[in-house]
Amino acid sequence: MFIATLIAAGRLGDDDLARAVETAGGGELRWIDPGDAADLLLGPVDDWRSLRDRLETALPGIDVILQPVEDREKRLLVADMDSTMIGQECIDELADFAGKKAEIAAITERAMQGELDFAEALHQRVAALNGLGVGCIDRCRIERVTHNEGARTLVQTMRRRGAATLLVTGGFHDFADPLGAELGFEEVRANYLESIHGHLTGRVTGAIVDAAAKRQALIERRDEKGIPRGAVLAVGDGANDGPMIDEAGLGVSYRGKPKLEASADARLRHNDLTALLWAQGIPKAEWATD
């Protein structure tokens, strides 16, 4: 049994629901929050990706999340940080303090598109920060970095309902640790910037958190908690999130690059991150508000 969740906060109407039923060839409709999100309950689906694509085409401006009914409410959230939980790429913003934002941002974009090896691109970008004072890191985080809409509500609501939460990023602990705490994540995995005498050396220390490491972090946390694969939600935006997304029961591309969108179970293109609560059948009345 499958369920298609139709999400268009403040814009979902009866005509949209009727069009969804027609496209799916039947099904039972149930509102989660009238005007915001509704479920279309389906029977067995032979080619669910094809049906998802048809529904997305028939319902422009509406996010469609199609998944099995079993394990719909997730027990583990694994999320990327840059351009997913927050609206920026931290290394690009930090590079601006060194007068190298355009140069670094171009490399970041190619890495997120999957055109460059992530570790190689990381070393190249960090090398450009050699000599930058470490005080710029806190300034950058405070002045430049903002949470994406719905990020804290998503994390806090899942925590309150008993889910485990993991922030895993190819970025840096200097940003990820405080941001993870602000959003409510239980655990953070990230890279370490090396510094000497108050200045960055242009190097990272320890093992690199790349695509493979992100996937492994998900597996470790899932197995440690004894959570079935179907009860894992992973969300990211770049090509380096692909293996992590593929390993999850519900892998979501949030404003994702084409390579990630092609493989993700769901594509969140129009709504904020609270859509992932509706995807689990959780109405607004049960969301965390503080």
d(Cα 107, Cα 95) in Å, to the nearest integer?
A: 12
For residues 256 and 280, state if they share a domain: yes
pLDDT at 116: 86
pTM: 0.95
pLDDT tens by residue, 91-134 = 999 999 989 999 999 999 998 998 988 889 999 999 999 999 99
Verify that 106 and 33 share a domain, yes or no.
Answer: no
Q: Where among 52, 70, 88 does a domain terminate?
A: 70
Say whether both 174 and 197 belong to one domain: yes
Q: Which of 71, 80, 241, 265 is catalytic?
A: 80
Q: What is the pLDDT of residue 289?
A: 85
Residue 240 has what pLDDT? 94
Same domain, 149 and 173: yes
One domain, residues 65 and 81: no
- Based on the domain organization, do 47 and 96 belong to the same domain? no
- Mind spelling out the 3-state secondary structure of the chain? CEEEEEECCCCCCHHHHHHHHHHHCCCEEEEEECCCEEEEEECCCCCHHHHHHHHHHHCCCCEEEEEECCCCCCCEEEECHHHHHECCCHHHHHHHHCCCHHHHHHHHHHHHCCCCCHHHHHHHHHHCCCCCECHHHHHHHHHHCCECCCHHHHHHHHHHCCCEEEEEEEEEHHHHHHHHHHHCCCEEEEEEEEEECCEEEEEEECCCCCHHHHHHHHHHHHHHHCCCHHHEEEEECCHHHHHHHHHCCEEEEECCCHHHHHHCCEEECCCCCCHHHHCCCCCHHHCCCC
Q: Tell me how far apart the alpha carbons of residues 163 and 156 are, in angstroms, rounded to a whole number.
A: 10
Predicted pLDDT at 170: 95
- Looking up residue 55, the CATH number of its domain turns out to be 3.30.70.260
pLDDT, tens digit only, all 290 positions of the chain? 999 999 999 999 999 999 999 999 999 999 999 999 999 999 999 899 999 999 999 999 999 999 999 999 999 999 999 999 999 999 999 999 989 999 999 999 998 998 988 889 999 999 999 999 999 999 999 999 999 999 999 999 999 999 999 999 999 999 999 999 999 999 999 999 999 999 999 999 999 999 999 999 999 999 999 999 999 999 999 999 999 999 999 999 999 999 999 999 999 999 999 999 999 999 999 999 86
Do both 259 and 227 map to the same domain?
Answer: yes
Q: Which domain holds residue 62?
A: 1-70
78 & 160 share domain: yes
Residues 224 and 265 in one domain: yes
| Total tally of structural domains belonging to the chain | 2
Q: Is 82 a catalytic residue?
A: yes
* Contacts of residue 126, Cβ cutoff 8 Å, sequence gap at least 6: 91, 193, 200, 202, 203, 204
86 and 218 housed in the same domain: yes
pLDDT at 220: 97
Both tokens of residue 273?
């991150």
Distance CA 36, CA 273 (A): 13
pLDDT at 17: 97
Query: Which among 36, 39, 71, 82 is annotated as catalytic?
Result: 82
CATH code, domain carrying 234: 3.40.50.1000
> Where a domain ends, among 70, 104, 121?
70
Do 153 and 59 lie in one domain? The reply is: no
Query: What is the side-by-side strand order in the sheet with 2-7?
Result: 28-33, 37-42, 2-7, 63-68
* Of 18, 42, 70, the domain-final residue: 70
Residues 115 and 82 in one domain: yes
